[in-house]
Amino acid sequence: MRKKVLITGGAGFIAHHIIDFLMKETDWNIISLDRLDFSGNLNRIFEVAAKYPEKERKRIKIVYHDLKAEINEHVASFLNKPDMILHLAAASTVERSITHPLEFIYDNVVGTANLLEYSRKIDNLETFLYFGTDEIYGPAPKGVNYKEKDRYNSTNPYSASKASAEQLCVAWANTYKLPMIVTHCMNVFGYRQQKINVVPLFINKIDNGEEVVIHSNPERTEAGSRFYIHGDDVAEALYFIITKKPFIAPDYGGSKTQIYNIVGKEEITNLTLAEMIAEAQRKPLKYQLVDFHSSRPGHDLRYSLDGSLLKSLGWEPRISLIDRIKQVTDWYLANPRWLGR
């Protein structure tokens, strides 16, 4: 029988890249669970499905549900006891978490708890994967790349809610023996991202000859930096993890939860990112450096993860960042509706 995988937040940006990958690389049946808030867009799934014959499209099933409510028997009947659960649904806007923190507790903490409660009632569940974030570690000083088991230091309600939800996953694994995997990832870009996100925002502004705002240190001498990674690379990494299941021995506390950092090929500043996008369009770059914290409280100048564990186990991005930036830039210019044009 074909495997059944439940993907929460399937109409979201990152999750739809995973659906696209699984459609190409597997014969699995895919259930997308989504409440379709401002970040969910079914057009992502429809555009992915349109690449396949009608018979193949039927492998994708869409179920509407808000995880702030329990998954009752009626909703569960639509989910059809999946073999694997990939939990990507989350409220994820840092600015909104600062002005509406309780929304993030309900969405990310309570929502995860409801999914965990549903999951522990599934016989023979193979995998529960929680898609976490680098932001739980807080800002990374120069030279520091956080490893999987380093301490958490949440600097805003979003990262705190993600860290809290992750610890619920670890607790359910320890208490109820759920087969738990946790991943941490940072700064994903790719196709069909909301135009307010940094890569499509830069593409649009540079194409229109507008000035780009680059967040920097208070002295405006150093731009913030990130390890940017393409959504297709994230999907490939997740597939590697859930199929290969490289095992890491329990740590000194006895935790059996497997944790992996998914990291891009190279660290670049946001100014370098803008320069890459300008070069891909062969257009000049107009920019202004802005004090990152004064303009965006709760944000950090530098995030960084150590990707050496997953690399040692056999996975790292295969395509260079500059080539990925060129691919994505060309795609948005060829698909201007995703830039709001």
Beta strands in the chain (DSSP E): 4-8, 29-34, 60-64, 84-87, 127-133, 180-185, 188-189, 212-216, 225-226, 229-230, 258-262, 268-269, 287-291
Q: What is the mean pLDDT of residues 124-130?
A: 96
What percentage of the chain has pLDDT greater than the value 70?
A: 96
pLDDT at 88 over 80: yes
Tens of pLDDT along 215-268? Answer: 888 788 888 889 999 999 999 999 999 998 776 666 667 778 999 999 999 999
Gap between the Cα atoms of 235 and 295, Å rounded: 33
CATH 3.90.25.10 domain extents, the chain: 193-226+267-302+322-339
CATH 3.40.50.720 domain extents, the chain: 4-188+228-262
CA atoms within 13 A on the CB side of 136: 23
Beta strands in 210-320 (DSSP E): 212-216, 225-226, 229-230, 258-262, 268-269, 287-291
pLDDT at 6 over 70: yes
Is residue 261 within 8 A of residue 187, CB to CB? The reply is no
Is residue 155 within 8 A of residue 162, CB to CB? The reply is no
Amino acid at 48: V
Other Cβ atoms within 10 Å of 148 Cβ, number:
18
Gap between the Cα atoms of 87 and 80, Å rounded: 16
User: For domain 193-226+267-302+322-339, which architecture applies?
Assistant: Alpha-Beta Complex (3.90)
CATH homologous superfamily of domain 4-188+228-262?
A: NAD(P)-binding Rossmann-like Domain (3.40.50.720)
Of 101-110, 246-255, 319-328, which gets the smallest average pLDDT?
Answer: 246-255
Tens of pLDDT along 156-215? Answer: 999 999 999 999 999 999 999 999 999 999 899 999 999 999 999 999 999 999 999 998
Of 122-131, 214-223, 292-301, which gets the smallest average pLDDT?
Answer: 292-301
Amino acid at 125: L
Angle between helices 198-207 and 270-281 (to 10 degrees): 50
Considering the chain, what is the average pLDDT of its residues? Answer: 93
Gap between the Cα atoms of 81 and 86, Å rounded: 13
**The pLDDT of residue 337:** 95
**The pLDDT of residue 279:** 97
What percentage of the chain has pLDDT greater than the value 90?
A: 83
pLDDT at 3 over 60: yes
**The pLDDT of residue 292:** 63
Tens of pLDDT along 30-42? Answer: 999 999 887 889 9
CA atoms within 13 A on the CB side of 206: 26
The residues that bridge with 188 in the sheet, in sequence order, are: 229
Angle between helices 157-176 and 111-119 (to 10 degrees): 20
Characterize the bridge pairing of strands 287-291 and 229-230.
Answer: unpaired
Note the pTM of the prediction, 2 decimals. Answer: 0.94
Gap between the Cα atoms of 206 and 336, Å rounded: 14
